Structure 1
Amino acid sequence: MRTSYLFTSESVSEGHPDKVADQISDAIVDLFLSKDPEARVACETMTTTNRVVLAGEIRGKGIMDEDGNWAEGVREEIERAVRETVKRIGYEQSGFHWDKLDFANHLHPQSAHIAQGVDASGNKDEGAGDQGIMFGFACDETPDLMPATLDYSHKILQRMADDRHSGRAPFLEPDAKSQVTLRFENGKPVEATAIVVSTQHAKGYDEGENEAELHTYVKQVIADVLPANLITANTVYHINPTGSFEIGGPDGDAGITGRKIIVDTYGGAAPHGGGAFSGKDPTKVDRSAAYAARYLAKNIVAAGLARRCTIQLAYAIGVSKPLSLYVDTHGTGSVGDDQLEAAIGKIDKLGGLTPRGIRTHLTLNKPIYGATAAYGHFGRKAEGDLFPWEKTDLVDDLRAALA
C-alpha cells in the first residue's frame, strides 16, 4: 500500500440537480414506508427546468393495487412530497420553483416476476431484490472512520447550506460543489494542496466587493472545517473558477437519481458495486447490503482490528444467502482477513447477511431515507432511527468471535 501520495474527493450540495433527484426519490420511499413497512419501491426522478418526472415500480398496502389503481389521496400526497422537498432545499427561482414546476408521475406496479423472486413463500426465505456486488469501507483517517478528503468535502457544503438556510450567508443559492485534495505521508493526511468550491450565488456576487465577500466567506468556512495543520502556505484555492454561477440547479443541468454514487459512498477511496441507493426500499440489496458492508467494515476498524477495511458482498436475485463475503484490510489488519470472514459468519444477530437478516438487525423498514440523500450515506451520526449502520455495536461480537 502506498504511504505518500495525493488523493482527491468531491461532494455536491443538496441543491445539485442530481441530489435534488435523489432527495425526491427518497422522499417517496419514506412516504410509502410510512404507509406500509413492507412496501416495494424503485423510484427514479428526473429534474430539469421547472419540471420533475417520477418513474419506477412500486407495491404496497394503502398505496397501489396490482392493477395500478392508486389508493385514495396517494397521488396528491406524492406531489405534495415532491414540492415540499424542493421547497425545503430552497428553490424559488424562475427556472426552478417548488410551486410552479410541472410534475408528472409515471410510477406503476412492480413486476410480478420480480415479486415472486423477492417475496418469502412456503419454505423459501425472502430473496435479494436484484443480483449484484456491494462494497463497504472504513479507515482511521477521521473520527467518523471515513476518507478525510470526502469527509471535509461534505462538511464544507453542509456548513454552507446551514448558513444559507439560517440567513447568515444570504448571497448563497442552493447549488454547489466542493473538492478537496490532500497530501498523505505514511498513510496520514498532512496538507491540503488544493480546495475547490463552486457555489451558485445571488446576482452581482461575481464581481467587485461582493465577489470578494463571497471568497472571504468560503475561505473562512474551509478554515473552520479542516484541521488547522492541513491549511498551509502551499494550499491553493479555486473558488468559483468559472467566474459566474447564477444559473444552477435543475435549470442549469438536468438531474437524475443515482448519478452521484461516489459522492454517496467513499469519494473514490474504495470500490463501488455500481448500484445506486436512493429511491429503493431495503429489500434492494444495492442499498441494504451496502449499508451492511459499511457496518461491518466500520466495526472492524473501530475494534482496532485494522486501520483500513474493504468488504464485498455478492447476491443473486431471488436468493436469500449472499454468494460471497470478502474482507481486505490492505495489510493493516492485526488478524488475517480470512479470520475476519470466519468471525463475521459466527455472529448470529446478522442473520447470515440475508436481505431479511440485514433489514431486521439494522431496522431498515422505516421512513429514514430522506436524511441519507445529501452529504453522504456514511460517516453520519447514528441517532434515533437514523443511520443505524453507523453504530459500532459489533465490536465486542467481533472480538468474541475471534477469541
Structure 2
Amino acid sequence: MFEKVNPAHPDKVADRIAGALVDLAYEKESDPRIAVEVLIGHGTCHIIAETSVSISPDEAAVIVSRITGSLAVDYCEVPQDQHLSDNQKNGIRCGDNGIFKGVPVTDEQKVLSRIARDLYEKYGCDGKYIIDEARLIICQSNAASDDIAASYPTAEINPLGDWTGGTDVDSGATNRKLGSDMADSVTGGGLHGKDLSKADVSVNIYAWLKAQEAGQPVTLCCAIGDESVDGIPYIDIVETARNYIRDIGGFEKFAEWGLV
C-alpha cells in the first residue's frame, strides 16, 4: 500500500518553497546553515527561517509568487541557535540526532509514482493517488473523471466528485508528506527545507541510495556532533547527498517528488 501526491498538492507546494529558499541560501554561501518551515493556505504563506545567510522578505516573496501565484507572505528570519552553530565551526559534523532507514522501492511503488507523474504532466494540478493489491484510487483536481477513466478503467476516480484543489481547499506544511517522498524508508526526519549538514537530509539520502544499490534495507543511527556515520566520514555522506541534489537540479526540484 502506498500513497503519492504530486508537486501541486499544498504540502508539496510548502516543501517546494522551503527548498527554493535553501537553494537561494546555497547561491549566497557554499555551506549555509538553514532550516525553513512553511505553512500555506487560504491566501497566506507563513515562513520561519533559522539561517546563517540573510534572505530578505522581498526575496522570499519572489519565490512564493513564482511557485504559488499571489499569496500574502509573512516572513520571519532568526539566527541559528548558538550551540547548533558551534557544532559546525571546525568542520561539517552530523547536525541532527536520529534513526534513519533506507528500503528498496517496490514495483507497486514504482507503478504509482509513474501514474502520479503521468497525470501531473497532463493536468499540472493538485492530485493524490493510492495503490494497494486490490485498489487504485485517483484523486485528481481540475480533471474530468471520464477522461481519466479512459486511461485507468479499473481505478476509483474522484470519490467525492470533480474538485478544484489547491491552497484554497487545503492547507500545506513542510515535511507533511514524507510517506509520499520516502515510501517504506520514512522515519522521523524531514527531508525538506534544510541544509546538507542536517542528517534529516544527508543521512536519509545516503541510506536510501545505499538500500537501492544493495537491494535490502539499511538502518542507521547518529547523534549530533558525530564525525562519522555507517563507518565513513560524515563529510563524505554530505558530499553524496550534495551530488544527488545537484544531479536532480537543486532542493526545490528534490521537493517536487522526494526520493520515490
Same fold (TM over 0.5): yes
Q: Which one of the candidate residues 192, 195, 210 is aligned to 1:281? A: 195
Runs of 4+ in 1 over 4 A off after TM superposition: 364-367
Equivalence for 1:115? 85
CA contact (8 A) 1:154 1:376 kept: no
Structure 1 residues without counterparts, runs of 5 or longer: 1-7, 65-69, 87-97, 139-145, 166-173, 183-192, 203-213, 224-235, 302-308, 326-344, 346-351, 379-403
Give the CA deviation at 1:151.
2.0
The structure with the largest helix share of the pair is 2
Q: Which has the higher contact order (CA 8 A, sep 6+)?
A: 2
Code of the residue aligned with 2:196 in structure 1: it is: P
1:245 aligns with 2:245: no
CA distance in 2, matches of 1:137, 1:281: 23
Q: Which one of the candidate residues 175, 198, 204 is aligned to 2:126? A: 175
CA distance in 1, matches of 2:6, 2:239: 31
CA distance in 1, matches of 2:192, 2:22: 8
Give the CA deviation at 1:158.
1.4
CA contact (8 A) 2:102 2:209 kept: yes
1:254 aligns with 2:171: yes
DSSP-derived class of the 1:373 partner: helix
TM-score (norm 2): 0.91
Map residues 32-51 of structure 1 onto 2, 5 A cutoff.
32-51=25-44
Structure 2 residues without counterparts, runs of 5 or longer: none
DSSP-derived class of the 2:155 partner: strand
Would you say how many aligned residue pairs link Structure 1 and Structure 2? 257
CA contact (8 A) 2:3 2:130 kept: yes
Map residues 245-394 of structure 1 onto 2, 5 A cutoff.
245-246=163-164, 248-266=165-183, 270-301=184-215, 309-322=216-229, 325=230, 345=231, 352-354=232-234, 356-364=235-243, 368-378=250-260
Cα deviation digits, residues 152-192 of structure 1 (max 9, x gap): 22222211221125xxxxxxxx211111123xxxxxxxxxx
Equivalence for 2:72? 102
Q: Which one of the candidate residues 60, 82, 91 is aligned to 1:78? A: 60
Cα deviation digits, residues 281-301 of structure 1 (max 9, x gap): 111001100111112112213
Please say which structure displays the higher CA radius of gyration: 1
Code of the residue aligned with 2:210 in structure 1: it is: L
User: How well do the aligned residues superpose, as a CA RMSD in angstroms?
Assistant: 2.0
Equivalence for 1:28? 21
CA distance in 2, matches of 1:221, 1:56: 43
1:156 aligns with 2:115: yes
DSSP-derived class of the 1:250 partner: coil
CA distance in 2, matches of 1:198, 1:106: 34
Code of the residue aligned with 2:178 in structure 1: it is: I
Code of the residue aligned with 1:237 in structure 2: it is: A
TM-score (norm 1): 0.60
CA distance in 1, matches of 2:151, 2:66: 28
